[in-house]
Amino acid sequence: MSEPTESSDSLKVSRFTYRQLQGLRHGSTATPLRVIAHIDLDAFYAQCEMVRLGIPRETPLAVRQWDSLIAINYAARPFGISRLINVAEARKLCPDLVLQHVATFREGEGGRWAYRDDSFKNISTDKVSLDPYRAQSRKILQTMKEALATWSADNTEVENQNSKQELSAVLEKASIDEVFIDLSPLIYRALLQRYPELRMGTQDENRDAELPTPPTTALQWDTDCLVDLDQHETEEDDPDWDDIVMLIGSEIVRSVRNTVWEKLSYTCSAGLGRNKMIAKLGSACNKPNLQTVVRNRAVQNFLRGYKFTQIRMLGGKLGEQITAAFGTEKVSDLLSVPLEQLRTKLADNTASWLYGIIRGDDRSEVNPRTQIKSMLSAKSFRPSINSLDQAEKWLRIFAADIYGRLVEDGVLENRRRPKVITMHYRTAQSRSRQIPIPGSNAIDENLLYDLASTLLRQVVADGQAWPCSNLSLSVSSFEDGVSNNKAIEGFLIRGDQAKALTHSSRLRDADNSPNEQDQAEKRRKLDGERGRIKSFFGNPSHLEYTATDEPDGSEEPVEKDPELSGIPRFVCPRCSKSMFEYEKEEHDDWHFAKDLASQDREKAKASQPPPPTKSSARGTPARGRGGRAGGSRGKPEKGQMRLAFQ
């Protein structure tokens, strides 16, 4: 064989480096190998009703709220039924349409929602409840997490799982029926297992070296919908690792969707891409029940066809301003506008954000948020109401609604409580008032009601209170409280009390079949919580990661006397963690990845402007999300703080 210098074939390497591969491990937002999925339940409220009522997929169904439609299943869409028409028009278009009204609370019946045959006639006494959908949403999210864990267990080596029970993929619940998943860490582990040639030798220090090329066999995309490639790219080109990671990602998402279907009978659509924006646009491309893959080599072609007003954050006034400024809504038109010219009409940070986003550059993180940050209960009045008495009746219902949700979400058991209560009030103009929730009392319906009533009286005293066309109550600024063992004891007692409460004070109507499931779900959840607390005392290794995920000794019990075991130990010079010598390599990798991630974060901060904010379209420069990072508070993400008590 001759020297490879002449042959371009044998010189071939990947376009990607070991460093970029490593970026997959710990949430680097900059690596081109990143894989984000967006999963969207198909016509979610409609599916909830179909599942609840046992209605077959082919039966047209719509969910109604008073006289309007808020969800239409896919069987009903060919009839021309959309959210824009009313009930009468829908019946005309499709006489066999099943019309199911959402569950409601009813004045004088406390905090119990129910499905009622006559709720559409009772707009003046009923208030919509979305609880049934929230419950299904929670169940689906949980099933998705389990499916991811199962795939992970089946597809990555045990030694790589490192005795941790927790899922390495990050899930962000984006709304009641949508979720983002950062699949990168999962895919990283699967890659190393399937392609051992990607593993770096210990002596190999050059992280900027190119990866070897992947096998050239054609990729099997199964039932996925692929977005056409950009100009100058062809399907005949050999795949590179960014194609392979998408393929693995699509395999994971398919398995998650299958599990949700098999266990809960819900279909969903999904999009896969290198970031949240692309994944989100992708999931809407092929509905229902399909997944769309946007490979890196297809991104330009994919985005070119969109109106930029369909891109996240550009759907509102900012989008309008941009449309007005440049006389177009098309991404393709805006692509030919140089950055300098964007800057002449937009604030600098908005201009550079826009410049990047229409080219497919979005480095926003998948936020491991799982807990809700505020709860709101509201009612519009048609006609308006005119007395304190009427308003207070609604406040009772709002208080019961919110209290019920506080209990169901387990916020009371977690001793996570809202600190602020707010009342919004609309007459000719709209106003809002808020006060702190006193930390001394236990939260119950009466406390919430009393506070709300105080707020209402303040507004009424201000004058201009009637007629009132809209009223709402919300709680926010949740605080997690557990900080010592005594508090945890209290936690357990409160958990039992809360459990008793859910059985006594929140009994559902007899024909409310899902509620029994809910109760069972709740019991399991409570048991699960207690199990976790116990395991915290007994064996810290089962704990969720803390906010910093430092190897601080909480993760693994340190031997009382290391010498007794006879196994050689090692103390890390960087973090002083003591470990067995055979763990050194993995630990070193951990530091490396951690460093890399923080480098990436800094780089992203420096190179990518924050998403635009309201007043930033013109005039005063606005502080975006990025600007806050180094600013007033270095608070860690709330969602990651759970059980981080020491």
Partner DNA sequence: GCTGATGAG
Partner DNA sequence: GGCTCATCAGC
| Alpha helix segments (H runs only) across 284-387 | 299-304, 317-326, 331-335, 339-345, 348-357
Task: Name which of residues 114 to 143 contact DNA (CB under 7 A).
Answer: 127-130, 134
**Interface pattern 320-359 for DNA (x via CB under 7 A):** ----------------------------------------
Only segment of 156-164, 180-188, 332-340, 620-628 that touches DNA (CB under 7 A): 620-628
> Could you say whether residue 70 binds DNA (CB under 7 A)?
yes
Only segment of 181-189, 243-251, 550-558, 617-625 that touches DNA (CB under 7 A): 617-625
CB of 610 to DNA, least distance (A): 7
Phi, psi of 594 (to 5 degrees): -65, -45
The token duo for 125 is 């006494």
Judged by DSSP in three states, 202 sits in coil
Chosen residue from 199, 574, 591, 625 binding DNA by CB under 7 A = 625
CB of 174 to DNA, least distance (A): 7
Chosen residue from 213, 328, 332, 470 binding DNA by CB under 7 A = 470
The token duo for 2 is 């001759």
| Alpha helix segments (H runs only) across 205-338 | 241-264, 276-283, 299-304, 317-326, 331-335
Task: Name which of residues 230 to 269 contact DNA (CB under 7 A).
Answer: none
CB of 354 to DNA, least distance (A): 13
Q: End-to-end CA distance of the chain, in Å?
A: 64
- Taking residue 95's Cβ as centre, other Cβ atoms within 10 Å add up to 9
| Alpha helix segments (H runs only) across 1-86 | 8-11, 18-22, 44-53
CB of 422 to DNA, least distance (A): 7
- Spatial CA neighbour of 625 closest among 637, 641, 640: 637
CB of 459 to DNA, least distance (A): 9
| Beta carbon nearer to DNA, 16 or 133 | 133
Only segment of 51-59, 151-159, 245-253, 377-385 that touches DNA (CB under 7 A): 377-385
**Interface pattern 169-188 for DNA (x via CB under 7 A):** -----xx-xx----------
Total number of residues that touch DNA (CB under 7 A): 58
> Could you say whether residue 547 binds DNA (CB under 7 A)?
no
> Could you say whether residue 481 binds DNA (CB under 7 A)?
no
| Beta carbon nearer to DNA, 300 or 613 | 613
Chosen residue from 317, 523, 534, 591 binding DNA by CB under 7 A = 317
> Could you say whether residue 436 binds DNA (CB under 7 A)?
yes
- Spatial CA neighbour of 249 closest among 231, 268, 222, 228: 222
- Spatial CA neighbour of 545 closest among 179, 141, 173, 165: 165
| Beta carbon nearer to DNA, 65 or 554 | 65
Chosen residue from 29, 292, 364, 616 binding DNA by CB under 7 A = 616
> Could you say whether residue 485 binds DNA (CB under 7 A)?
no
Judged by DSSP in three states, 431 sits in strand
Instruction: Report d(CA 156, CA 188) in Å as an integer.
Output: 9
- Helix, strand, coil tally for the chain in percent (to 5): 45, 15, 40
Q: Largest Cα–Cα distance of the chain, in whole Å? A: 94
| Beta carbon nearer to DNA, 377 or 502 | 377
Beta strands in 598-644 (DSSP E): none
Judged by DSSP in three states, 71 sits in strand
> Could you say whether residue 369 binds DNA (CB under 7 A)?
yes
Only segment of 182-190, 237-245, 261-269, 308-316 that touches DNA (CB under 7 A): 308-316
Only segment of 241-249, 384-392, 422-430, 511-519 that touches DNA (CB under 7 A): 422-430
- Taking residue 553's Cβ as centre, other Cβ atoms within 10 Å add up to 14
- Spatial CA neighbour of 63 closest among 71, 54, 51, 52: 71
> Could you say whether residue 422 binds DNA (CB under 7 A)?
yes
